[in-house]
A and B are shown apart, each in its own frame.
Chain A
Amino acid sequence: MRKCDNLIDAGRRQFLRGAATAAAGGVAAGALISPRPAEAKTALARVDYPTQKLGNVKDLKVDTPVDITYPDPDSPGVLLKLGNPVEGGVGPDGDIVAFSTMCPHKGFPLNYVAADKTLNCPGHYSRFDCEKGGQEIWGQATQNLPQFQLRVDANGDIHATAVDELIYGRLNNVLKA
């Protein structure tokens, strides 16, 4: 289901011809030279993300950011309840979102400013709108902010399931030796 959603999103932005083909190309190339042919054969066009619990709906307060990490402890992020339903938002109010907090420009830690629900970079002044899927309001990053895709289960636990942009400082969102 998750892969399916990804493909729908992808198709809407017509990125497939560019980025996904390249990822697939990389896999094919891996098959030619990889010392681990068995692994290469099973590789998917996108990396396989872990599912990770980030918190529970009942513990979140509007505009009180919760520090999290995803997909591993070296990738800091933030879990937010915004108070209004937003793009990519989950939970009963459709307002819970999570983002990477390493600026995709130079990896500086972003601060959440509740006054206008933005993440701000003290390094080179980039700003990202948490209510618009991490859209770069202004800045030097060449990506909008990586957003963590979320799922809420029946008891209100919030799980991260994937990432929609490359996280700063890694060439594979799921680090592997």
Chain B
Amino acid sequence: MTFKRNVDRLPIPPKDAKVQNVTCHFCIVGCGYKAYTWDVNRQGGTSAGSNAFGVDLSKQQASQTTNWFSPSMYNIVKQDGRDVHIVIKPDHGCVVNSGLGSVRGARMGELSFSETRGSQPQRLTDPLVWRYGALYPTSWEDALDLVAEVTRRVVEEQGEDGLIVSAFDHGGAGGGYENTWATGKLYFDSMKIKNIRIHNRPAYNSEVHGTRDMGVGELNNAYEDAELADTIFAVGTNALETQTNYFLNHWIPNLRGLSLQKKNNELPGETHKPGRIVFVDPRRTVTVNACEAEAGKDNVLHLAINSGTDLTLFNALVTYVAEQGWLDKEFIAASTSGFDAMLAANKTSLDDAAKITGLQVDDIKKAAAFIAEPKDGKRRRTMFAYEKGLIWGNDNYRTNQALVNLALATGNIGRPGGGCVRMGGHQEGYVRPDYPGGKPAPYVDQLLISGKGGVHHIWDCDHYKTTLNALEFKTVYKKRTDMVKDAMSSVPYGDRAAQVEAIMGAIRKGGLFSVDVDIVPTKIGQAAHVILPAATAGEMNLTSMNGERRMRLTERYMDPPGQAWPDCLIVAGLAQAFERSWRAAGKNDVADKFKGYDWKTEEDAFMDGYHAHATGGQYVTYESLRAMGTNGFQEPAVAFENGKIVGTKRLFADGKFNSKDGKATFMATQWRGLQAEGKQQEKDKFTFLVNNGRTNHVWQSAYLDQQDDFVMGRWPLPFIDMNPDDMQALNLEQGDLVEVYNDNGSTQAMVYPTPTARPKETFMLFAFPTGPVGNVVSKGVNELIIPNYKQTWANIRKIASAPEVTRQLTFKSQEYMPPT
């Protein structure tokens, strides 16, 4: 049956409830929230004078009220050791979301750790070590000393390349400036670790090297630009489900015509109409449907290309735009270089593009007109937005560049209503010393699979769910870590010297010692020998920036579970343990490299990192950020005036880009088919495209959602969207369990009939704990080790008819239907 909370009332926040700034710790958008907390033995009343909202709560509140919160926004948590009620509710004063809460962020309350109410009982409360055949609690000192001792011994024997690291590099939960700085300082400054990878890809690389190498940073506009654009050109982004409130609060008003006044005010002297939108996506998404409902089909163009052929489309568009004379010649001359060479190299006819992409020539022409046909003699303003469909798609580097070519040629970067931006996944929060490795960086998964390295430090990553070639990775990883587990079990735990000897003996035979830092037990954590419990946003003060570089401070509103620490303070403890270990080994010169971690709080790490090292960081402190509330400021900071941090609305507004001569560089980006090794053969051999990505209810790998009854009641298993004719051919009914398999591995999913899915083109939920699609994604990457998740082909066969857990689900279309 459908999950219901059976909650029919909630405690009322009293007038004097404490109110703190919160930025949602999930996606890149970073919606503003407020945390209300008050003592568990108190509550407010319904009269206006007795509650925090100052209104009569005995009355029904109107739609979009600021005076209501849902059961999912409520919990009882510990604050400074005392039980308090907490409500984490969207902030109407935040310009990002204007009071909107998504189905993910508006559950931050119930996803908080509560001993009283039993929410998130999975949260790690103590350091754990492998002893007597299982993971058992130990002290921080014991755990850190073991990690430091084994790591030192491995580095002594194998050099620093023997230490392999997986670490977050982003903002929000499991990241933030405090924690990226701390881990960066440890691994890139105190040590020079090259063999490091990021949570969703197997090397230490940008997902958007392409645009950066052209001098164009990828987060270069303001969310307001989506309200000002004549056209939004959206590539491989499903914004309604993955950047929900950016889409709802800034794209939709433009399509509805609600931003016309803003356009007229801010951009006088040109004609303005409600916005139009172009989607490039092989799949029809709920985002396309919502845009059609709002703007009408005439103003929405969905280019349902053949999977992986985006590059050819962009080259054809730039060719056609140039032929029509729709270029921004002044901008090209003043702010760019290499245009003529790019145009010559990338010349692609409409017919050739139509053949490769599967599109109609007229639709490509129409897209070009939407993008660049002058309006009353003035340049059309187009915002280019892209995300994982491009980033994790075929030929990432060139495709990214081909899109930026188009944006530059039409003068749409650094201008109001423009921008060529990635939409983003997590928030950002990167400040680190320079990475000591090269470019391309080492393919870390392949190092681990080939037996390299002796010790692996994992910071808030779960490769079993979120890497490519996941089945082989898991198989080898388990084997290598089991060798160490068996060795550890062979000697008494209390004999540290013997333990370390046993571990080193196993490592010399190909074993791997695994240290996992996380907030919850992960799938890869099953292989770990030491697990260290971390705090998440709100359990610590945490800073991050969103997709328009808007930086905010989430204030600490509750205690971490048990003995959990902020990641940055775990780093500090580990660094100090390294110093002790190296000194005891008589290597004082090495030990001295681990000085400088005498942080007592996350604020100390912030001051050591962001404040001292980020561009404009000198203007930014916790105190100044607190005063900036949920609106914060847009990075980089350029001044501190009248008690406020002054930021930067959009980058490159002066026409100067990130290069020596200040010019953006056009790039030659010729089509070369399916670029990653083995992809074409896979396509030829297997029947179904297994496109993959996110869904609305779930944040990331469901690491918290897996204990949320509301979410698991909707998605107990990963779905695979299939065309009904394909289902019939395989004798499948809705909710049936299928195996998805190819030469890379196999995984499971439940069938969701999807009439809009093209025949032989499926879409499967990504990174889900009960069926990781990564098992069937090949190890093929691009020249900079960017994975190619989207172009995966496999066969499908039935495992079982719909089990009880899927029979309870609705399988109706997810597309909104307006009244008829």
Partner-B contacts on A (CB < 8 A):
6, 9-10, 12-15, 17-23, 25-26, 29-30, 32-33, 46-47, 49, 74-75, 87, 102, 104-109, 111, 113, 115-116, 118, 120-127, 129, 131-144, 146-147, 163-166, 168-177
Contacts and interface: CB of A to CB of B under 8 A. Distances in A.
Interface string B41-59: 1110011000000000111
A118 B5 contact: no
8 contacts: A15-B4, A15-B709, A87-B1, A102-B63, A139-B696, A165-B71, A171-B9, A172-B9
A164 B7 CA distance: 7
B1 A166 contact: no
Contacts of A146: 4
B48 to A, nearest CB: 11
Interface in B477-507: none
B714 A136 contact: yes
Contacts of A166: 5, 7-10, 70-71
B511 to A, nearest CB: 40
A123 B253 CA distance: 12
Interface centre among A15, A74, A163 (most CB of B within 10 A): A15
Interface string B520-545: 00000000000000000000000000
Contact of B76 (A22, A170, A173, A174): A22
A176 B43 CA distance: 15
A131 B58 CA distance: 32
Given A138-B696, A143-B5, A165-B7, A26 B118 contact: no
A29 B58 contact: no
A102 B3 CA distance: 18
Contacts of A104: 70
A109 B63 CA distance: 9
A13 B46 contact: no
Contact of B11 (A29, A122, A127, A163): A29
Nearest to A22: B117
Interface of B: 1-12, 40-43, 46-47, 57-65, 68-74, 76, 100-103, 106-107, 110, 114, 116-119, 240, 244, 248, 286, 289-290, 293, 696-697, 709-710, 713-714, 808-810, 812-820
A163 B812 contact: no
A137 B810 contact: yes
Contacts of B817: 113, 115-116, 118, 120, 127
Contacts of A133: 1-2, 4
Contact of B63 (A19, A106, A144, A174): A106
Given A10-B6, A30-B43, A138-B814, A169 B70 contact: no
A57 B709 CA distance: 34
A47 B9 contact: yes
Contacts, number: 230
Contacts of B818: 111, 120, 122
A118 B819 CA distance: 11
Nearest to A138: B814
B6 A138 contact: no
Given A14-B709, A143-B4, 20 more contacts: A9-B1, A26-B10, A29-B11, A29-B40, A74-B60, A102-B63, A107-B63, A107-B64, A113-B817, A120-B819, A131-B810, A132-B810, A138-B816, A139-B696, A143-B70, A143-B710, A165-B4, A165-B5, A169-B68, A172-B10
A21 B119 CA distance: 12
B42 A29 contact: yes
B589 to A, nearest CB: 54
Contacts of B65: 107, 169
Nearest to B5: A19
Contacts of B119: 18
Contact of B8 (A47, A111, A115, A176): A47
Which 10 A/B pairs are nearest by Cβ-Cβ distance? A107-B63, A133-B2, A125-B816, A74-B60, A142-B72, A138-B814, A169-B61, A129-B810, A172-B9, A164-B4
Given A33-B42, A177-B58, A164 B9 contact: no
Contacts of B107: 142
A120 B817 CA distance: 6
B4 A147 contact: yes
Nearest to B83: A25
B6 A171 contact: no
B4 A33 contact: no
B8 A169 contact: no
Contact of A141 (B69, B103, B290): B103
Given A29-B11, A143-B71, A135 B2 contact: yes
Nearest to B90: A106
Nearest to A103: B63
Given A19-B7, A26-B43, A140 B102 contact: yes
Nearest to B708: A142
Contacts of A22: 7, 10-11, 74, 76, 116-117
A129 B286 CA distance: 17
A174 B7 CA distance: 12
Interface centre among B7, B76, B697, B810 (most CB of A within 10 A): B810
Contacts of A113: 817, 819-820
A142 B2 contact: no
A13 B58 contact: no
Contacts of A105: 101, 103
A9 B6 contact: yes
Contacts of B114: 18
Nearest to B53: A171
Given A113-B817, A142-B106, A170 B6 contact: no
Given A15-B5, A118-B812, A171-B12, A106 B64 contact: yes
Contacts of B118: 17-18, 21
Contacts of B46: 172, 176-177
Contacts of A32: 41
Contacts of B714: 135-136
A147 B5 CA distance: 11
Contacts of A177: 46-47, 58
A147 B8 CA distance: 12
B60 A175 contact: yes
Contacts of A6: 6
